[in-house]
Homo-oligomer: A and B are copies of this chain.
Amino acid sequence: MTIDTARMVQMANAIRALSMDAVQAANSGHPGMPMGMADAATVLWSEYLRHDPAAPNWADRDRFVLSAGHGSMLIYALLHLSGYERPTIDDIRNFRQLGSPCAGHPENFLLDGVECTTGPLGQGLAMAVGMAIAERHLNAVFSDRLVDHRTWVIAGDGCLMEGINHEAIGLAGHLKLGRMNVLWDDNRITIDGDTDLSTSEDIKARYEATGWHVTSCDGHDFADIRRALDEALADERPSLIACRTVIGKGAPNKQGGHNVHGAPLGADEIAAAREYLGWDAEPFTVPDAILADWRSTAESGKVAHAEWRQRLEADSAARAAFEKHMAGVGNLASPALEGYIRDLAANPKTVATRKASEMALGPLTEKLPQLIGGSADLTGSNNTKTASTAPFSADDYSGRYLYYGIREFGMAAAMNGMALHGGVAPYGGTFLIFSDYCRNAIRLSALQQINVTYVLTHDSIGLGEDGPTHQPIEQVMSLRLIPNLNVYRPCDTIETAECWALALEAPTTPAVLALSRQNLPQLRGEGDADWSAARNRSAKGAYRLKAADADRKVVLVATGSEVEVAMACAAGLEEQGIGADVVSMPCMELFAQQDAAYRADVLPADALKVSIEAGVTQGWERFVGVDGLTIGIDRFGASAPAGDLYAKFGITAEAIVPQIINKLNG
């Protein structure tokens, strides 16, 4: 059903009016993009996007990503006009105010229909790549009958100029994600001025070079927009649709200039725009006829949803399989690991924790079909590939292993998109140092409250010869500072498996696993012969691995590869009659959440507390106090074999024990 052009104009103007009025009321925000893209968005949402406002989480809906998240009023207007329960007109009236779901940038956790949090430029489009990957994978598993939808993106020049765009479109082009379509708001304006101030790129040629179909349209001509979208649908490649627009279209004196990008139009210009657009309605009022036209556009999606539900219900076995799969990992990671861990208890293994991670991933990937792994070109180093995970490629989307290429940020954002899509549980690897390259995507995993697991290996100077550019020093502690992110640094095979279980069983919290390059002895095993989720000692974040033999004077707290060092220190102390506990702290964040009694039991007030971690020390005072000792490395590393570096930086029992004794005597 096509609505005639005059009415379409009014539908688009409803977006413009809501956007300019909401920004004005908030006295902050970005009217330029919603007004410029109102026409293209109206065509997309009313005629192409398959969605059901009454069922915003319908699994087979099209995904829509507003990558240019600063233009948030566009999606708020679209959701409201299309008939989503929220945002209400009052929500929009409270745009950017405390408590309104209409936040400055769209937040997935505030509104259904906002598929992902956007604003950090480039990441929306890159998350959309992940959504399109998830769609193709689930399609391969469950067929067109149950999974067959598109991923739509509106992106601006900023999204295209960011480095992550190169990574994202390279991946999408290579994987031939033809059901992904990007509408580029080609308004030739950035915050600083005209785009030609900072770029001369032929964007269309770049996309074509990366395996994309590219077309253009007049972003203010409904027929031309339809023509371009139809062309995109017909092409098997992912599509870039360059929508030539005038930023702030409708504000007669300001449109087309960079001042309309990120500031209210002002009362005078809004009055002028009302006249220019022929929009008589009061602020935050959409005339009934226009609202009715908008609401009518949801019909086709409602029908599609009903038909899909019929198909789902027609085959109860397929339905059960689908629903089980879409329900995610749940608490099934621990049972998947039980036998494996019990075996380890009986047969200890001295391996690097990156290898221990691979070993744990064996049963996990075998038993949990949602797990989709990958690495940013470090498969053999991150140990992320297992026998159960065949490559995911343009030739075979049923695979569960992604060769992401040398694209850390693109990988992380794609994983966010996969997790947001649902039905898949992504994990991916790179070196811990390169968390720096994808840090903001890790932050967005945490902010968006999704489960993504970062397998970050080579986690300290223990990687040795590659030197300071590759040796994490501040990374572990600085990742711990990201809210709602659990950073796990396990010390041996069993802890690694425990941390994997915890990481996967936290649906709203992402995880980092910081893993060693170098071999580590298995320190656990005793008491783990009947391991189960309830006996996951890492679950409290830290625990007493070894109790003092003699009267306890010292508590050594360590993580990862330094737990071995702490054990050696304890042995050295006890040789001298100084009782020392060793506490392994695989997850500082989980420990901090325990009650005071548990924390005081593990880290008692009456002992000298010593932290040992081959990284920066600041932050450890929280646990060992300013009267404790913080053993670590507060400078960059060096290039040498790992053992030499541990000696050089004093992370050895030989270097630490005398300091402890001095402290006790001081």
Q: Which residues does A use to contact B, with CB under 8 Å?
A: 26, 28-29, 69-70, 96-100, 103-105, 107, 117-121, 157-158, 161-167, 170-171, 173-174, 190-193, 197-203, 205-206, 208-211, 375, 377-381, 391, 403-410, 433-434, 436-437, 439-440, 443-444, 446-447, 464-470, 473-474, 477-478, 480-484, 616, 618-619, 621-622, 625-626, 634-636, 638-641, 644-645, 648
A200 to B210, CA, bound (A): 7
**Residue from the list B164, B635, B644 in contact with A98, Cβ < 8 A:** B644
Chain B residues near A120: list those with CB within 8 A: 433-434, 436-437, 469
CB distance A173 to B158 under 8 Å?
Answer: no
Chain B residues near A406: list those with CB within 8 A: 121, 157-158, 161-162, 190, 198
* 7 pairs of A and B residues whose beta carbons are closest in the complex: A163-B163, A198-B405, A166-B166, A103-B639, A98-B640, A205-B209, A119-B469
CB distance A440 to B437 under 8 Å?
Answer: yes
The answer to whether A380 and B621 touch (CB under 8 A), given A173-B201, A406-B161, is no
A98 to B465, CA, bound (A): 9
Q: Which residue of B lies closest to A123 (CB)?
A: B469
A531 to chain B, nearest CB (A): 31
A440 to B477, CA, bound (A): 15
The oligomer's copy count stands at: 2
CB distance A616 to B191 under 8 Å?
Answer: no
A210 to B199, CA, bound (A): 8
Q: Which residue of B lies closest to A198 (CB)?
A: B405
A45 to B617, CA, bound (A): 44
CB distance A634 to B191 under 8 Å?
Answer: no
CB distance A465 to B639 under 8 Å?
Answer: no
Chain B residues near A209: list those with CB within 8 A: 201-203, 205-206, 209
A199 to B403, CA, bound (A): 9
CB distance A192 to B162 under 8 Å?
Answer: no
Chain B residues near A641: list those with CB within 8 A: 96-98
A175 to chain B, nearest CB (A): 9
CB distance B478 to A474 under 8 Å?
Answer: yes
CB distance A104 to B622 under 8 Å?
Answer: no
Looking at A208, A409, A621, which has the most chain B CB atoms within 10 Å of its CB? Answer: A621
Further pairs besides A96-B465, A198-B406, A434-B440: 8, Cβ < 8 Å = A98-B641, A103-B639, A163-B166, A163-B437, A191-B381, A201-B209, A481-B619, A619-B619
CB distance A105 to B190 under 8 Å?
Answer: no
CB distance A105 to B165 under 8 Å?
Answer: no
Chain B residues near A26: list those with CB within 8 A: 465
Q: Which residue of B lies closest to A171 (CB)?
A: B198
CB distance A467 to B409 under 8 Å?
Answer: no
The answer to whether A190 and B377 touch (CB under 8 A), given A477-B481, A481-B477, A481-B618, is yes
The answer to whether A465 and B190 touch (CB under 8 A), given A205-B208, A406-B121, is no
**Residue from the list B211, B443, B621 in contact with A201, Cβ < 8 A:** B211
CB distance A200 to B211 under 8 Å?
Answer: yes
Q: Which residue of B lies closest to A407 (CB)?
A: B161
Looking at A99, A473, A625, A639, which has the most chain B CB atoms within 10 Å of its CB? Answer: A639
Chain B residues near A443: list those with CB within 8 A: 436
A96 to B639, CA, bound (A): 6
**Residue from the list B105, B166, B409, B483 in contact with A466, Cβ < 8 A:** B105
Q: Which residue of B lies closest to A621 (CB)?
A: B621
**Residue from the list B97, B379, B439 in contact with A436, Cβ < 8 A:** B439
CB distance B119 to A467 under 8 Å?
Answer: yes
The answer to whether A469 and B447 touch (CB under 8 A), given A98-B644, A209-B205, is yes
